[in-house]
Amino acid sequence: MPIDSDSMGAAMTITLSNLSVGYDRHPAVHHISGVFAAGSLTAIVGPNGGGKSTLLKALIGFLRPMSGHIDFGGITPQQIAYLPQQSEVDRSFPLSVLDVVLLGFWPKIGAFSAVSSEQRGAAQEALEKTGMGAFAERPIEALSTGQWQRVLFARLLVQKARVLLLDEPFAAIDNRTTHDLMHVLQHMQEEGCTIIAVMHDLPLVREHFPQSLMLARELIGWGSTAEVLCDENLARATQLAGNWVEHAAECKKVA
Amino acid sequence: MLCPFLTDPALKRALVSAVLVSCSGAPLGVMLVLRRMSLMGDVIAHAILPGTAAGFILAGLSIPAMSLGGLIAGLIVALIAGLATRFTAIREDASLATFYLLAVAAGILMLSLHGTAQDLEDILFGDAQSVDNQMLVYMAGVTSFTLLALAVIYRPLVVESFDPHFMRAVRGKGGLYHVIFMLLVVLNMVEGYRTLGTLMASGLLLIPAVAAQFWSRKLSGLISISVLIAIISSVAGIILAETYKVPSGPAIVLFIGAIYMGSGLLGRHGSVRARYFPFRHFEA
């Protein structure tokens, strides 16, 4: 949603001020300002190459802003969880499902502390919540795409982060799994979690995400989903997506 | 046939050295293979050659000088290979293959200019019986240090290998553990070069790890099976090398190779046997 003076710097809200992020001087996210309210559930939508994943990477701190800045309202990096796109994990690695879920305790146990039996119990409970309770001892390479995503959601549950950044969490996932995991997300939101997810499935966004941010390098709309996902905005996003330029001039907009 | 191995001190030292290299090398090999860094392991092993050659030229057949040279060269090449793949556009495997050939070429050239054919053979292919007491103490030190260090960095190293994005997101300092791991790999390659030769040193790390994958799908299983394969092969290899008067490195590596092939035929997972004559499936 757009910045208003009341929400500036409020606790647990994430404020983007004139933020630009990108690669090799080419901004993929260009001069964006706005606020993710504490406890909000926001979908980031827009065309491929529109900067959605880039914005998430800036929020998790993998990319530095080219200009502008992000205010986290007191949220520490340890309180932010990030789920990248599916392809980025080595699924052939010889670990069990429970091992992966226990990683969610990393902010508490770090590299060296022991895992307590309560934590094991909590991990098993998280697996039950995502419908994977019977799979704790299975090797991860034996899981289907949907089952794997359920395991990663169990890890998110265990991590108890204040902010979730999800990059296309439901890509290549069937309806039943999407429905179950969406339910898990809503439950986490009810417990006060701020959730920001890159999404492509617009009907799903309309059904479940109260807030939306439409991005095609430029900010096209940010606010309630019904207002943002209007025909006019969608047409503008499509039109902008056709105009990526390789040899752009230096940007003169004030940072 | 086994009698000399119980009485001859040089042979006894050779056997102990082989067991030492196996105990720490095989677990490192498992991590190298899982991190898809087998080629990197080869590069580091071969990079030791010009270093040991330099030590040999400067100080003669002095094992400390040659080991130190190998250590320095291994670290330099691990660093350069890492930087080259990060900062140039060449694909990682291509630049690693380049480094490894350059290192072998430079080492062989240096040794043929300054040593005899026998020196060259011993350095390239290993001469387990040349391990003296001093070297044995050094090897025991490296093995103990490696196992301790590996126990300490085990969790972050595994997580960094399996899901680097997660590691980065939780600010887990993955890069630090990667560097420590590479340091251990260099140390162990240098540890193994007298027993296995610089051309074969990576064999005792990597091949048991690959063979173990036919037997276990668990990390703990992979590590213990690969250590077992490495110990059996290196002891058998040294006995064969002594019996038939051949260099120890190739004898050991070929013995591991035989176990690898046997595992590929008969192993529990992904073998020919498992593919064509599977056990009955479970209910769910």
Q: Which residue has the higher pLDDT, A58 or B80?
A: A58
* For A115, nearest residue in chain B (alpha carbons): B155
Exposure of A114 by Cβ count < 10 A (0-12 exposed, 13-18 middle, 19+ buried)? exposed
Q: Is A106 at the interface with chain B, CB within 8 A?
A: yes
Q: How many whole angstroms separate alpha carbon A210 and alpha carbon A2?
A: 15
Chain B hits for A88, CB-CB cut-off 8 Å, are: 165
| Cβ-based contacts of B222 with chain A (< 8 Å) | 94
Q: Does B162 touch chain A (CB under 8 A)?
A: yes
Do the domain assignments include residue A238? Answer: yes
Q: Are A164 and A104 in contact (CB under 8 A)?
A: no
Summarize pLDDT for B199-252 with one digit per residue, the tens. 888 999 999 999 999 999 899 999 999 999 999 999 999 999 989 988 889 999
Say yes or no for a CB contact (<8 Å) between B162 and A141. Answer: no
- The alpha carbon torsion through B47, B53, B56, B59 (nearest 10 deg) reads -80
Q: What is the DSSP letter of A89?
A: S
Residue B31 to residues A1, A154, A185, B246: CA-CA distances in angstroms? 46, 26, 35, 31
pLDDT of residue A5: 46
Instruction: Tell me, yes or no, if A133 comes closer than 8 A to chain B by beta carbon.
Output: no
DSSP symbol at A167: E
**DSSP state, residue A24:** T
Which pLDDT score, from 0 to 100, does residue B2 have? Answer: 62
Cβ–Cβ pairs < 8 A, chains A and B: 55
- Candidates B66, B23, B22; CA nearest to B48 is B66
What average pLDDT does range B116-131 have in this prediction? 85
User: Cβ B171–A77 below 8 Å, yes or no?
Assistant: yes
> Under an 8 A CB cutoff, do B161 and A93 touch?
yes
Q: Residue B217 and residue A106: Cβ atoms within 8 Å? A: no
Is residue A1 over pLDDT 70? no
Q: Which of A103, A137, A141, A156 to mutate to test the interface with B (most CBs of B within 10 A)?
A: A103
Nearest to B222 among A82, A94, A106 (CB): A94
Q: Measure CB to CB from residue A81 to each of B158, B169, B173 and give the nearest one.
A: B169
- Taking the Cβ of residue B34 and every Cβ of chain A, the question of whether any pair is shorter than 8 Å is answered with yes
Q: Which of B163, B216, B218 sits opposite A89 (nearest CB)?
A: B163
* Overall average pLDDT of the B270-279 stretch: 83
Shortest CA gap B223–chain A (Å):
11
Mutate to test the interface with A, among B162, B176, B210, B218 (most CBs of A within 10 A): B162
Mutate to test the interface with A, among B33, B148, B158, B166 (most CBs of A within 10 A): B166
H helices present in A104-253, as ranges: 106-109, 117-129, 145-159, 175-190, 202-208, 225-228, 231-241
Q: Provide the residue count of chain A.
A: 255
Contact B165 A82 (CB under 8 A): yes
pLDDT at B41 over 80: yes
pLDDT over 60 (residue A53) = yes
Query: By C-alpha distance, which of B172, B220, B148 is closest to A105?
Result: B172
Average pLDDT, chain B: 88
Residue A168, domain member (yes or no):
no
**Closest Cα in chain A to B212:** A94
Whole-number Å distance between alpha carbons of A251 and A241: 18
pLDDT, residue B80, reads 81
Q: Is residue A21 part of a domain?
A: yes
Residues of B in contact with A91 (CB under 8 A): none
Res B1: pLDDT: 58
> How many domains are there within chain A?
1
Tokens of A5: 């003076």
pLDDT digits (tens, 9 = 90+) for A155-207: 999 998 999 999 999 988 899 999 999 999 999 999 999 999 999 999 999 99
Average pLDDT over residues A201-217: 93
Domain hosting A223: range is: 1-75+209-246
Q: Which domains does chain B have, with CATH numbers?
A: 3-276 (1.10.3470.10)
- Percent of all residues in chain B with a pLDDT value above 70, rounded to a whole number: 95
Question: What percentage of residues in chain A have a pLDDT greater than 70?
Answer: 91
Tell me how far apart the alpha carbons of residues B126 and B54 are, in angstroms, rounded to a whole number. 17
In chain B, residues with a C-beta closer than 8 Å to the C-beta of A93 are 34, 161-162
Lowest-confidence range among A136-145, A234-243, B82-91? Answer: B82-91
Does A114 reside within a domain?
no
A32 occurs within a structural domain: yes
Which residues are paired to A80 by β-bridges?
A: A163
DSSP B78-114: HHHHHHHHHHSSS-HHHHHHHHHHHHHHHHHHHHHHH
Instruction: Report the chain B residue with the minimal C-alpha distance to residue A141.
Output: B217
Residues 6+ apart with CB under 8 A from B56: B62, B65, B66, B69, B111, B114, B115, B119, B123
Place of tokens 């930087």: B83
More confident residue, B149 or A246: B149
Is A103 a domain residue? no
B84 or B34, which is more confident? B34
A39 touches chain B (CB under 8 A): no
Instruction: Answer whether B170 sits within 8 Å of A106, measured CB to CB.
Output: yes
- Count CB atoms within 10 A of the CB of residue A233: 18
Where does residue A132 rank: exposed (0-12), middle (13-18), buried (19+ CB within 10 A)? Answer: buried
Report which of B250, B253, B263, B247 is spatially closest to residue B230, judged by C-alpha positions: B253
Say whether residue A148 is in contact with chain B using an 8 A CB cutoff: no
Residue A141 lies in a domain: no
Q: What is the ipTM of this complex?
A: 0.82
Q: What is the mean pLDDT of residues A99-119?
A: 90
Mean pLDDT over residues A115-126, rounded? 92
pLDDT at residue A226 is higher than 70: yes
In a domain, A68, yes or no: yes
Question: Touching check for A81 and chain B: CB below 8 Å?
Answer: yes
- Between CA B136 and CA B124 the distance in angstroms is 19
Lowest-confidence region among A95-109, A163-177, A241-255, B14-28: A241-255
Residue A31 has φ and ψ, to the nearest 5°, of 50, 65
Q: Does the CA dihedral B15-B21-B23-B27 come out positive or negative?
A: negative
Gap between the Cα atoms of B177 and B118, Å rounded: 39
What residues 42-71 of chain A have any CB closer than 8 A to a CB of chain B? 60, 62
Residues 187-226 of B with CB under 8 A from A: 216-219, 221-222
CB contact under 8 A, B217 and A82: no
- CB proximity A115 to B under 8 Å: no
Cβ-defined contact of B172 to A103 (cutoff 8 Å) = no
Q: What is the CATH number of the domain that holds A213?
A: 3.40.50.300
